[in-house]
Amino acid sequence: MKVALIQSDILWGEPADNRARYETFIRSTEADLYVLPEMFDTGFVVEPDDCLSPSWSRETLAWMQAMADERDAAVCGSVAVKERGRWRNRLYFVRPQGQGGVAFYDKHHLFEYGGETLSYVPGTERVVAEWRGVRFLLQVCFDLRFPMWARCLDDYDCIIYAASWPNKRQHAWDILLQARAVENQSYVLGVNRVGKDPVCEYDGGSVVVYPYGNVIAAAPSGSEAVVTTEFDMDKLRQFREKFPVLKDRDF
C-alpha cells in the first residue's frame, strides 16, 4: 500500500479555498491513501459557533468522497461537525463508493488547555477502518498523549494521527509518535499542518514511523510537502510473529 501525507498551511475559516489547495496536492501524486491534518478545511477552531457554518462539513465530506472516487483511493482528515446541536472534531476515513463506505472517529481526548472542551463533545468509541488489507486505528492530535487509548489489541496495523500540533511542543510530537509505533509494533502516520492561525504557529513534522520506531519518511520542517511511502505488510507480520510482545500487554 502506498500512503501520502499532505502537510500544508491552512487558510483560517476558508473551507472552499482549503479544499482547492488540498485537491492540488492530492492530484500531484498517486497513492492508495491520502491523509490530511486536523480540521484541514478551516483550521483548528475552538469557538465554532462564532465563525463556522454547519453546512461546511457536509460540503467537505462530499468533496472527500469525490476525491476518493476520482483517485480510487481513501481520503482521511478531520473536520468540525455539528450534530444534534453539538460540535464534534470528526476524523473521516472515506473510501471510494462501493469499496467500504465512510468510517469516522470523533476525537476522544479534547484539548481542554486550548479551549476545545468548551464547544466540542468527546467521542467515546475507538474506531478501526480497514482498507486494502491494512487496518487503521483513527486518532486525532491530543489523543497522541494517551497510550492506553491507542493500545494495540491485535486489531490494527497502523495508527493515523491527524493533528494541529503547535511548534512549541514539537519535540513531544516527534518522541510520542515513535513511542506509539514501538509499543504497539505498528506503523504510525503523523500528519501535522504548517503556518499559523490566530493562536499558534506550526512547523509540521509529518512522518511515517516504522514499527521499530525509526522514521522512514518525513516532511521538511515548516514547509508544505507531500510525503509518500509504501507499507511492507509481510515484514510487519513477520516482526510481530518473531517478537510477540503484544501478547504480554496488561489488558
* Residue 114 DSSP SS3: helix
**2 tagged catalytic:** no
User: Could you say which of 76, 82, 141, 152 is catalytic?
Assistant: 141
**141 tagged catalytic:** yes
User: Could you say which of 76, 107, 116, 152 is catalytic?
Assistant: 107
Beta pairing partners, 218:
207
Give the residue among 176, 159, 156, 177 at the shortest CA–CA distance from 237.
Answer: 156
**230 tagged catalytic:** no
The phi, psi pair for 156, rounded to 5°, reads -150, 165
Record the cell numbers describing residue 240, joined without a space. Answer: 510481530
d(CA 8, CA 195): 8
d(CA 91, CA 36): 10
Give the residue among 86, 100, 177 at the shortest CA–CA distance from 139.
Answer: 177
Distance in Å from the first CA to the final CA of the chain: 30
Residue 226 in contact with residue 171, Cβ under 8 Å? no
Record the cell numbers describing residue 50, joined without a space. Answer: 462564532
Residues counted in the chain: 251
**23-44 burial code (b ≥16 CB/10 A, e <16):** eebbeeeebbbbbbbbbbbbbb
Tell me the catalytic residues. Answer: 38, 107, 141
